[in-house]
Amino acid sequence: MPTELLFRDDAYLKTATARVAAVRDGQVELDRTIFYPLGGGQPGDTGILVRENGERIAIVDTRKGETPGSVAHLVAAGSTLPETGESVSLEIDWPRRYAVMRLHTALHVMSCVVIAPVTGGNIAPDKARLDFDIDMTLLDAGKIEHGTNELIARGVATDSVWITDEELDARPELVKTMSVQPPRGAGRIRLLRIPDIDLQPCGGTHVANIAEIGGIRVVRIRNEGKRNKRVEIVLAG
Ligand SMILES: [Zn+2]
């Protein structure tokens, strides 16, 4: 059964209630969730499920489920499992997720400072990186940091826009990330828009205004192969 993705409409939901749809192999499926499942370079959320009797079940990771559109909440080994049909309260580890949202949105901004095809990327709660197909001599940590922070200082609001598969096919320049093709098949694709800065397909969670990023620091630039020049960043404060 597809899980209703509450974070899609509101990335700031820290708590919610849901009903247990299925339990199997230490994984809990819910009818709806605020837990983001690993994908697009963004890690799965962690947090807790609180049962009606008050019992707290730690969620150590979130993944896409076996059936299309479903989300699997992974419980800690040895913990008790809820019953199918039971209603539960959800709480995500918000400081961790918010750090991920800030870094994720920062990568969107940085991808508009380094003008090159993106060949990879990853986000962790404490750091994030993008890989570019570019000559190493064109990557200057100070310039990337300054350019990204200058855009962040514009403090513009982000939003989501939806386009059809056909509209995306007509605008291939929107797809900067060669390693992560936008999800297709549902007939429409979500884009993150940072007005006058960036517009690209993305299903992750982002901050509502890029001012929330604060600023970034480039901590490392490394040659990871012919088409992978890696730029790693952390939040400045
Ligand atoms: Zn994104």
- pLDDT of 51-64, one tens digit each? 999 999 999 999 99
The tokens for 98 are: 């918010």
pLDDT beyond 80 at 15: yes
Ligand 1 centroid to 216 CA: how many Å?
16
Ligand 1 centroid to 122 CA: how many Å?
11
Radius of gyration of the chain (CA): 19
Least confident of 12-26, 116-130, 144-158, 169-183: 169-183
Ligand 1 centroid to 215 CA: how many Å?
17
Tracing tokens 């799965």 back to the chain, one arrives at: 44
Alpha helices, DSSP H, located in the chain:
6-9, 94-110, 141-152, 165-170
Q: Residue 224: pLDDT band by 50, 70, 90 thresholds?
A: very high
Ligand 1 centroid to 158 CA: how many Å?
11
Q: State the chain's mean pLDDT as an integer.
A: 93
pLDDT of 63: 97
d(Cα 225, Cα 131) in Å, to the nearest integer? 10
Ligand 1 centroid to 198 CA: how many Å?
10
Ligand 1 centroid to 11 CA: how many Å?
12
Ligand 1 centroid to 115 CA: how many Å?
17
Q: What is the DSSP string of 149-199?
A: HHHHTT-PBPEEEEEEHHHHHH-GGG--BSSSPPP-SSSEEEEEEETTTEE
Per-residue pLDDT averaged across 159-176, rounded?
A: 84
pLDDT of 44: 98
Residues in the chain: 237
Question: How much of the chain exceeds pLDDT 70, in percent?
Answer: 95
